[in-house]
Amino acid sequence: MWFWLIEEVESVRRFLGLGGDVLVALFFLTLMMWALLLERWFYFMAVYPKQVKQTKATWLARSDHLSWSAKQIRRELVSRVAMAVDKGMPVIKVLIALCPLMGLLGTVVGMVQVFDTLAITGTGSPRAMASGISKATVPTMAGMIAALSGLFFVNQLDHKAKLAVQKLEDNLKHG
């Protein structure tokens, strides 16, 4: 029943072994990035609609909508929502930027291992160099894939956030 899960975990473990310690660090970095992306998605699906409803109710409860102070209060209400919408986005963007850098670090570590192997065994043993070559290429590939997938989703969330704040601002202005 759980055999497929054990096989999948074992294949992930083998893949992480191909890239060495840097790939393991990249794996946890990617997990953190995706946890934060999923949190933002959950925010937009579950929390944001309630927050907008509460903000609209607060605005509509006011009798004055036209004075200078009312406009400042409206601006403050929209700013609160905008801050909540953008919460965590800079951290996600930093994690996305770190993914390819971690991949490049894996490349450097793998190449050092290749050169170390060359120094010890000479050029006659391609099998001895294969481990270092995989440690040089696999983290780079994984870092780029993680960064590109995260970049796609963070851009979607950014676009959704900007539209949501603009829509709220328009709704409060025009009733």
Mean pLDDT value of segment 73-91: 94
So what's the pLDDT on residue 1? 66
pLDDT band at 36 (very low <50, low <70, confident <90, very high): very high
- Tens-place pLDDT, residues 124-161: 677 777 777 877 888 999 999 999 999 999 999 999 99
Q: In Å, how far are 7, 109, 118 from 122, measured between CA atoms? A: 37, 19, 5
**Which residues have C-beta within 8 Å of that of residue 151, sequence separation ≥ 6?**
96
The mean pLDDT value of the chain amounts to: 89
**pLDDT tens-digit map of 89-102:** 999 999 999 999 99
User: 3-state secondary structure string, 32-72?
Assistant: HHHHHHHHHHHHHHHHHHHHHHHHHHHHHCCCCCCCHHHHH
**pLDDT of res. 165:** 92
